[in-house]
Amino acid sequence: MSSPQTPIVQMRNIEKHFGSVIALAGVSLDVFPGECHCLLGDNGAGKSTFIKTMSGVHKASKGEILFDGKEMNFERPRDAIKAGIATVYQDLAMIPLMSVARNFFMGNEPQKKVGPFMFFDHETANRVTMDEMSKMGINLRGPDQAVGTLSGGERQTVAIARAVHFGARVLILDEPTSALGVRQTANVLATIDKVRKQGVGVVFITHNVRHAMAVGDRFTVLNRGKTLGTAKRGEITPDELQDLMAGGQELASLEGSLGGTV
């Protein structure tokens, strides 16, 4: 089992090529238990490719992935999920007209035997769903409430609670706050904080510096498939992080060259 000082996942010099296009050019990142590692970058920076490589959707062209210190070669997303790496994407993969309990247990349905037949165990599913959502600070009207009636933030919380309940040790969150209002964003950030306190390692993908600073312990900035650096909380200010994300070095050199021509 990992100690707080040992990363659960180590991504070392990951490269990903799509033909002649280099999407990732030697990216490294560690994920520690109980820590929120924010992966920041503008559109096209390589964030999506990187998390898909971590979660088994893509196979790295070069580099290695270590899980609990052992090299892992995920052939498909199921392998990553089995190891304990769960990803919550923006589309959430939920059925709006189906109940929260049914969505919570989709693919992992608890069953009970009645005579020779197996049936969906509504009682267990309802109880667990209400308990897990309550732990995350969401008070449902009932477990049979349709997912489509929940707010965007509440739906994100269902997806996060579901992943944690089914054994995620590393939780990858792909832009979970991008389409949310202020209050819903605050709820999701509070959920991330709760998950981290349970010892789960969180990878929070975002391009919003304020959201990252609210919950992040470590910050890695990607730019055009390369890592511009990783900083711990307290080592970098929001303005410095924003500057790095916006390609501050390029802006500074541009200002310098413009200044020289005036």
Where residue 161 sits, what CATH number does that domain have? Answer: 3.40.50.300
Q: How many residues does the chain have?
A: 262
161 is a domain residue: yes
Chain mean pLDDT for the chain = 86
115 is a domain residue: no
- Number of domains making up the chain: 1
Per-residue model confidence as pLDDT tens digits over 157-187: 999 999 999 999 999 999 998 888 898 999 9
Residues 70/230, Cβ–Cβ less than 8 Å: no
201 is a domain residue: yes
Q: Residue 60: which domain range?
A: 26-97+153-261
Q: Percentage of the chain surpassing pLDDT 70?
A: 92
175 is a domain residue: yes
Model confidence band, residue 3 (pLDDT cutoffs 50, 70, 90):
very low
CB atoms within 10 A of CB 205: 24
Predicted confidence (pLDDT) at residue 152 exceeds the cutoff of 90: no
Whole-structure pTM value: 0.86
User: What DSSP designation does 207 have?
Assistant: S
